[in-house]
Structure 1
Amino acid sequence: MAMELDGSEVVVRFSPFLPDRLLENAIDTFVEEQERGDASPRYGVSVIAGTPEDGEDLLDVVRRIVGSSTLNGKKIAIVSGNTLRSQGFQLVADPNAKEPLHHLVGDNPFSEHPRVDLLASLLQERITNPAWKEGSR
């Protein structure tokens, strides 16, 4: 793994990773929030993220994050929160009952489509999901 812990969040994205699918996810988020009646619906790409705890290495953090999730898939993309912010993205917590570590990535104030080509390029580091089980969804 090339990514190193830098003190910021470890951000995990399950597939799909392609720009057009990231855009679709951001639009879906906007539509869902609009339908719920949120005053300021957001264009955000769904990820799960967590901050490293004392003594955890990168794989420990990834295991804890994916262990909190109902999502599953063999390959996951990982990136640090600092890397996202260094490219101008925002990472905001957006927990829900199903996904307590759910976050949104987008361009502040989330009122426009995010720069999905750039975001996809930042999601190039892929690892095998440590919680992956053959035969799972």
Structure 2
Amino acid sequence: MSLFSVALALGLTVALTYIVLRKLYPGWVKTQAQKKLESRLFPQGNRQKAEVLKTFRSFTGERFSDEDILEYFFKIKGLQAVDINTRTNYWVKKYLFSPTSIKLNYFEQVKFYETFLNFPVKPGIEKRSFFKPEKFAREKIKTNRTEQMSKHLA
């Protein structure tokens, strides 16, 4: 074998390895991390996950797929729920520090944090659902405080 054929084989191997890792590695990291995060963020299982998806769809107007919603939820709530400074799984750390595939506008982000600030709820503390459809109603609440305010201004 000549030096040229060895260099060619080595170059081809490196190029193929790079291409395969570039395409497959992010998916592998995602599956490994989501398994770990799912057990931590959804202790009550699929019912809790379905409730999160329903709530998320209500304030985003169903713009995103379930996979994108779960990825966003895992990354944002995972950063809050997992203590990164302690010994953390490599895949989880790698996954949490990668950017999300969807971007929410300001109002959607505010609703997300208002809704899921204390999620997941500790078992036994609260049995009812965290989903409140009236919270996302588009109607403004009218009050009779205008008379009081006008008296104070006059």
Whether TM exceeds 0.5 here: the answer is: no
* Higher RCO (Cα < 8 Å, 6 or more apart): 1
- Smaller-chain TM-score range? under 0.3
Larger C-alpha radius of gyration, 1 or 2?
2
Please state which structure has a larger fraction of its residues in helix. 2
